[in-house]
Amino acid sequence: MKNILTIILAFAITTSCSPKRDLTHSSGKPHELRPEMAIEKLPDTRFLYLPVTGGYHKHLESIQKLSAFLEQAGIPGKNCTGIYPEDPDAVPAERLDWEIGFEVPEDTPAPETGEFKTRTLEGATALVVKSSVQNSAAHGIYCKIWLLEHGYVQTQPTRMIYHMDSDVPEEQSTTIIFPVVKRTRDIPVITGCTLGHKL
């Protein structure tokens, strides 16, 4: 529980920083900005979550509420996941709508309280990206460009799974998920169009 809260707090701080921050590993070596990624087929997933309106600083209190509820209800949860339908650079923090939750067993019923929700995240083809708390924002932008240049269209909001595998919060690994479909129309793509093109 403590590790999850550390991850989320670090993510909230990181996404509030300037995109020009120094991406340097604690070893002193630069982070590799091109992430490891693959197109995968994801299964249906039962998701117990808390809808949130407001800035990402609310991750901490939201995770605390969810964890307490799961423990009290005796529901096993795994893969702490955020779902982010809006870009925090396009929507004021106080109006951001997002969800945070856990994967739960398929037979988990809807909670009796109105605060928490359950639904099934539909299986989908997705671009699955290995990242970290520190690099998630940069990798997200890179992948958006990659999808455009390779003929994919995002079909559902971006998801992010938070893992617990480092004592350094910023280096905790994440998995970014972009549900996609391949374009059916043959649209010419100007590859590398972002390089050196200033408006």
Q: Which domains does the chain have, with CATH numbers?
A: 2-16+36-182 (3.20.80.10)
What mean pLDDT do residues 82-109 have? 95
> For residue 2, is pLDDT > 70?
no
Mean pLDDT of the chain: 82
What mean pLDDT do residues 110-139 have? 91
Higher pLDDT, 58 or 188: 58
pLDDT, tens only, 26-65: 445 445 578 899 999 999 999 999 999 999 999 889 988 9
Indicate the helix (H) or strand (E) that contains 17: none
What residue type is assigned to position 135 of the chain? N
pLDDT of residue 16: 41
Provide the whole-model pTM: 0.80
> For residue 13, is pLDDT > 50?
no
For residues 110 and 118, is the Cβ–Cβ distance under 8 A? yes
Of the ranges 60-74, 91-105, 174-188, the best mean pLDDT one: 91-105
d(CA 134, CA 130): 12
What mean pLDDT do residues 66-75 have? 93
Collect all residues with Cβ–Cβ distance below 8 Å to 168 and sequence separation of at least 6: 26
128 confidence band (pLDDT: 50, 70, 90): very high
pLDDT of residue 170: 76
pLDDT of residue 198: 53
CA triple 127-133-138, angle to 5 deg: 60
For residues 155 and 180, is the Cβ–Cβ distance under 8 A? yes
d(CA 55, CA 52): 9
- Is the four-CA dihedral 71, 15, 41, 183 of positive or negative sign? positive
- Is the four-CA dihedral 51, 54, 56, 57 of positive or negative sign? negative
